Structure 1
């Protein structure tokens, strides 16, 4: 198996979740048939997250980190991870353990046949407000862009790095990664995974940014897609 995987782990004030996350991700590293490492992206945390990240990276060669000078948001953290990835595959997971690192093992057999694997969170372990807002946002997005993706914001993804690097990224585009792979002509596989209650800490999202943000981001995506340039060279002289 020649593929290697880098998993981007955005971190924003996750000091309560990180110890358990490191334990589970270490277990994935030790059991995975594919070589992999974690790339922690500190998104301007104001707690002790950065100190914990530095300590982990100093003691484990399987982890690297990037730290922002302030909080830029999830899209920026993922984009920075894409920019610094040196492996053939790149993944993404949140540090709150609502999706489990071990489920990455379910994705690996689909490469290289597919260009991206995206999860579908089964039996969501969220509040009723979070469930309803997510369901509405997903339905609205599918109606507007017709991408066929059930759970576009599932925080457990793997894709070929060549597709990740070509994504036209701006704020909010983390919600459309499967559609952005499809825009390049890539094939996306969807795989059901388990969803868990938040291990510790609190969610950084609320009702307004779960509805208002996706509404405008979907309009932005439709505008971008209508003007997206894609071509194939038939011939060249050298």
Structure 2
């Protein structure tokens, strides 16, 4: 599949979601028909051990706007998102989880903000997660904002649109998907958070555990705080390289 350069690519990481893949494309029909962009869906198989890859291949075979990439083995959510962004050819890229606990139609709300922002991220309202998951997420978000001051209430919301060049300039590390707002602000770019709907999980199993949603993010937050404290910037006042501006201009 050839990804069109004009439009937006929505990256959907998939790990053992065979039951829900058949729901994905019908759920995107209204958004694709309503979007002002040419929408490409890029499914990223993160080394699934069930029948997800076969279901992904079926979806791509019967839909011209759907493509896929597949990992040899499980590499994690951040790696799947990053690989999808790298393989995209559009100026804008989006991300949503395969469990459809967020609504693809809310991408329209995010689209409306991108003329003035480099990252538009959702904030889940009325979350339909377990009490433990909500409590750990609330604490993690409070701790992250206290350390990083990114001004975002729900950094891990799985509904985002970001300028691809900005996303690819972010340092890549396991767990980076939780820090998109801070990693955007470090670049001097603009971020906004807007409310989006949230729904209960219908198929598949949550990948939540204490380590990947609580302890590990706290360690990552401290590491990113150190990075921000050590950040150094410079401004070039003059240069003799004729192609300099052209080389850095998007």
Q: What is the TM-score with the length of structure 1 in the denominator?
A: 0.95
Work out the CA distance in 1 between the residues paired with 2:233 and 2:72: 35
Cα–Cα, structure 1 residues 42 and 228, in superposed 2: closer, same or farther, change >3 Å? Answer: farther
- Alignment-derived partner of residue 139 in structure 1: 142
What are the superposed Cα offsets for residues 42-68 of structure 1, whole Å, 9 maximum, x if unpaired?
000011111111111111111111100
Select 1:203's aligned residue among 202, 206, 218.
206
- Between 33-42 and 153-162, the greater mean CA deviation after superposition: 33-42
Q: CA deviation at 1:232?
A: 3.6
- For 1:175-190, list aligned pairs within 5 A: 175-190=178-193
Give the conservation status (yes or no) of the 8 Å contact 1:37–1:62. yes
Select 1:162's aligned residue among 161, 165, 171.
165
- Give ranges in structure 1 of 5+ residues lacking alignment: none
Q: CA deviation at 1:226?
A: 2.9
Q: CA deviation at 1:178?
A: 0.9
Select 2:110's aligned residue among 97, 107, 110.
107
Work out the CA distance in 1 between the residues paired with 2:231 and 2:71: 30
- Alignment-derived partner of residue 123 in structure 2: 120
How many aligned residue pairs are there? 237
Counterpart check, 1:82 vs 2:105: no
Instruction: Please give the secondary structure, in 2, of the residue aligned with 1:82.
Output: helix
Give the conservation status (yes or no) of the 8 Å contact 1:129–1:207. no
Work out the CA distance in 2 between the residues paired with 1:46 and 1:106: 35
Two-structure CA RMSD over aligned residues (Å): 1.4
Q: CA deviation at 1:230?
A: 4.0
Cα–Cα, structure 1 residues 229 and 26, in superposed 2: closer, same or farther, change >3 Å? Answer: farther
- Give ranges in structure 2 of 5+ residues lacking alignment: 243-250
Work out the CA distance in 1 between the residues paired with 2:112 and 2:76: 31
- Alignment-derived partner of residue 49 in structure 2: 46
Work out the CA distance in 2 between the residues paired with 1:236 and 1:144: 37
Work out the CA distance in 2 between the residues paired with 1:170 and 1:187: 22
Work out the CA distance in 1 between the residues paired with 2:199 and 2:14: 18
Select 1:63's aligned residue among 50, 55, 66.
66
What are the superposed Cα offsets for residues 71-121 of structure 1, whole Å, 9 maximum, x if unpaired?
000111111112111001011000001001111011111122111101010
Work out the CA distance in 2 between the residues paired with 1:151 and 1:95: 18
